[in-house]
Amino acid sequence: MKQALIKLHISVFLAGFTGILGVLISLNEMSLVWYRIMITVVSLSVLFKITGKSAQLPKSTVIRFLLIGCLIALHWVAFYGSIKLSNVSIGLVCFSATGLFTALLEPLLVTKKIQWFEVGLGLISLLGIYLIFHFDQRYQTGIIVGIISAFLAALFSVLNKKQVNKAEPLIIMLYELTGGLLVLTLLMPVYGYFFPEMTLIPTLSDWGWLIVLSWLCTIVAMQLMLDSLKKVSAFTQNLSLNLEPVYAIIMAFVLFDENKHLSTSFYYGVALIILSVVLQMIRVVYKNKIKTQ
């Protein structure tokens, strides 16, 4: 369990860079995610070809992974949309609602009783988001899109929990992101119709950041996350991901001076979110100690 938690928090730290890269990359959210997934899928395909590793799975399992990948892609589009409609700090704080959505979805989709303590922790995070939303109305559209992103993140994490033991992490990633690439390719013309200002061609610096985003923040981070899911619950994973905004906010303060544009209520909200994460980590470690005694 301890090793799984370490892997989980390394993946969360790597995920913290994604919001920063969302600002550094000039593409809009749809193009950004399409290129991110395309580079990842091509890289994994080449890796499997070089190593001679087989990615064959039963057809029914492949279909499930492809469908989950569609949710992942849509989550990423909403996530980067939230950042571009507000800023890194706001977009990542909204992601903290994932814990509450997971606590509600996991009992519905997995054979697990509802954990009211988890619901309570999720509500603490949601209260933190509300403090920011209620007192700082400049970013309300970005916050709404961010909450949609959080719901999609909770949904695909719970579904992934049910499938995670059916294949190795890199194989799961390849099929899921292939599904994401397909759905975004189909949606790209529709998105371009409603948002004609969409940029399709990355700049040279965009390509560099996209490679970092795909290799480090996607392949490495997702492999660590999928490994950890074999030992920890989807709720623990998603609540731990609430630390992602903490890492990213610190970086955004240093790189973009975002602290100059945030109200006092933002800090109260972040404090509640950190509290929920700390309480869940204490709970997980305590439960694990009781099991091993």
- What is the percent of the chain with per-residue pLDDT over 70, rounded to a whole number? 87
Which residues touch 162 (CB under 8 Å, ≥6 apart)? 109, 110
Q: In the structure encoding, which two tokens stand for residue 197, read together?
A: 């200002």
Q: How confident is the model at residue 276 (pLDDT cuts 50, 70, 90)?
A: confident
Across residues 192-206, what is the average pLDDT? Answer: 87
Q: How many CA atoms lie within 13 A of 178 on its CB side?
A: 16
What average pLDDT is seen over the chain? 83
pLDDT of residue 283: 73
Q: Positive or negative CA dihedral for 228, 231, 234, 240?
A: negative
- Within 10 Å of residue 223's Cβ, how many Cβ atoms? 17
Please say if the pLDDT value at position 135 is more than 60.
Answer: no
Q: How confident is the model at residue 287 (pLDDT cuts 50, 70, 90)?
A: low
pLDDT of residue 60: 92
- Within 10 Å of residue 188's Cβ, how many Cβ atoms? 15
Q: How far apart are the first and last CA of the chain?
A: 14
Q: How far apart are CA 20 and CA 143, in angstroms?
A: 17
Q: How far apart are CA 125 and CA 82, in angstroms?
A: 18
pLDDT of residue 179: 97
Q: Amino acid letter at 224?
A: L
Let me know: does 235 contact 112? Beta carbons within 8 Å: no
How many residues appear in the chain? Answer: 293
Q: List the single range of 3-7, 146-150, 231-235 with lowest mean pLDDT.
A: 231-235
Q: How confident is the model at residue 121 (pLDDT cuts 50, 70, 90)?
A: confident
Across residues 154-172, what is the average pLDDT? Answer: 86
Q: How many CA atoms lie within 13 A of 137 on its CB side?
A: 0
**DSSP letter at 111?**
S
String of DSSP letters for 181-214:
HHHHHHHHHHHHHH-TT---S--HHHHHHHHHHH
Q: Which range marks the domain in which residue 269 is found?
A: 2-292
Q: How far apart are CA 120 and CA 13, in angstroms?
A: 25
Let me know: does 218 contact 79? Beta carbons within 8 Å: no
Q: How confident is the model at residue 235 (pLDDT cuts 50, 70, 90)?
A: low
Across residues 231-246, what is the average pLDDT? Answer: 69
Q: How far apart are CA 25 and CA 22, in angstroms?
A: 5
Across residues 110-115, what is the average pLDDT? Answer: 71
Across residues 32-59, what is the average pLDDT? Answer: 92
Across residues 103-126, what is the average pLDDT? Answer: 77
What pTM did the predictor assign? 0.81
Q: How far apart are CA 137 and CA 86, in angstroms?
A: 11
Please say if the pLDDT value at position 38 is more than 90.
Answer: yes
pLDDT of residue 12: 82
| 64-92 per-position pLDDT tens digit | 999 999 999 999 999 999 988 888 777 87
| 178-188 per-position pLDDT tens digit | 999 999 999 99
Domain count, the chain: 1
Across residues 244-258, what is the average pLDDT? Answer: 73
Let me know: does 79 contact 154? Beta carbons within 8 Å: no
